[in-house]
Amino acid sequence: ISYRGMLITSEELAKYKVGCHIINIAFLSTSKQRDVATKFAAEGQANHLRCLPDGKNILLSVLCTYTVRYPST
């Protein structure tokens, strides 16, 4: 299992589906340590993110969990 923490928009988040397969041809930073990935997701720092006039965050803190099927690729 590998983790990726990131800040993304709600539109980007809508593209992710639980249980779906992802094929990535570009470099993707992940960590085997959940706490490291959580730092990249800026968890607990919502007060410091830019907001829309209604108070909603422009970027969302997201932590993805990946199961690596073929570790040699």
pLDDT in tens, 59-71: 788 888 888 777 7
Q: What global pTM score does this model have?
A: 0.68
- What is the 8-class DSSP label of residue 46? G
Q: Say yes or no to pLDDT of 3 above 70.
A: yes
DSSP 15: T
CA distance 39 to 43: 6
Buried-state track 23-53, b at ≥16 Cβ within 10 A, e below 16: eeeeeeebeeeeeebbebbbeeeeeeeeeee
